Amino acid sequence: MIDYRELKARRDEIAKNIKDRNMKVDVDQAIELMDRRSALMKAAEDLRAARNENAAKMKGKMDNDARQTLIAEGREIKDKIAATETELETVEKEFNTIVRQIPNYAHPSAPVGKEDKDNTAVKYVGKPPVFTFKPLDHVQIGEKLDLIDFETGTKVSGPKFYYLKNEAVLLQMALENYAMNIVMKHGFTPMITPDVAKEEILEGIGFNPRGEESNIYTVEGTGTALVGTAEITLGGYYSGETLDKSRLPIKMTGLSHCFRREAGGAGQFSKGLYRVHQFSKLEMFVICLPEDSDKMHEELLAIEEEIFSGLGLAYRVVDTCTGDLGAPAYRKFDIEAWMPGRGEAGEYGEVTSTSNCTDYQSRNLNVRYKDDDGKSKFVHMLNGTAVALSRAVVAVLENYQKEDGSIEIPNALVPYMGGRTIIPAK
């Protein structure tokens, strides 16, 4: 949530940002509700003062007629207070609903655009492999080598669920340990987080747990939902707390399952493991001082690059456009790894994302720090994918396939694969 006290002063900037993000939020309605809310709060305060004044007069000496007049006035004030507070509750709810829909401000350098095709590639690393044979996609590889079973996953759980088998299990665990060691080297505290979070935590992070457009599985009747990322549970870890400034930055990395409905995620670029309802992910999360968040964002991106360059994969870094940022992000960078089985001749596919959400999430979650001047201020929050394991498996299988049908294991993963250097052809 943005600082709603800025709604009037930055009205035009906020409205432009909403348009640039391809969103629809009525800023003027938010301002109108804010003014009504303020007026009702003032009216309720004045009525309570009048009630106190009436009660004080009742303590004095007076004849019966005067007392009955004060009693009648007291009842009238009481009724007015009840009506005003009821109206205030309604207006407050409407105001909170609309102001939470207003996205975070965008970084001045973020490309303006509506969707991912408007993102700007800012860096290319490595060269896509050149094969002397027609490469297979990971679905074909998984079937031939008995590594991935989509058919039984669909039978047991439904579409977009799957079983990993044999060396694919070891490969995922190797990727997990490989990435965890790198992230811990950079001072992140490792955690395994809950797979369920309260709806207010999801909303605080910026996920909508309800409605047709929600990407979240709710747990009916519990007020909770399955998490789509450990960003939710890591972000909620310090909710409602005021942190000692000397503790910042706090760097956490969380391993969790991720559950996503992925509505509308159809098409050839979403097949197989690339877009599924359940996967595992190692997520980085940082809580820091406002003046440090840009620097921390660069650090998160550098760690992501270290992980994927260490795997020997060709990738590009993408500066995400305004329409693809999502409401909480001030700026976001994606890493897209080369995937030979994507499209006719291979394409880059997203494997990581890192966002600086400034104080947007911390306002919702009420996470603050006490500054040197004694004032309580909101921290900045950032997140970054260390490794989304299903997509990393896609990239490794497709890039390291050999003509004989085997899969070479990247050197960086060999120590985590029990010394295995290949997944043999079958």
- Residues taking part in catalysis: 260, 275, 350, 353, 391
Apex CA 412: angle with CA 303 and CA 124, to 5°?
50
CA distances from 390 to 329, 351, 366 (A): 24, 9, 33
Report CA-CA distances (Å) from 145 to 167, 313, 352, 381, 397. 9, 22, 27, 42, 11
DSSP-derived secondary structure for 398-413? HHTB-TTS-EEPPGGG
Rounded to whole angstroms, the Cα distance separating 202 from 265 reads 21
Give me the residue label for tokens 């079973």.
Answer: 149
The residues, any chain, with a CB within 8 Å of residue 293's CB and separated by 6 or more, are 356, 358, 380, 382
**Alpha-carbon span 110 to 379, nearest angstrom:** 22
Number of alpha carbons in the 13 Å side-chain half-sphere of residue 418: 7
Residue type, 291: E
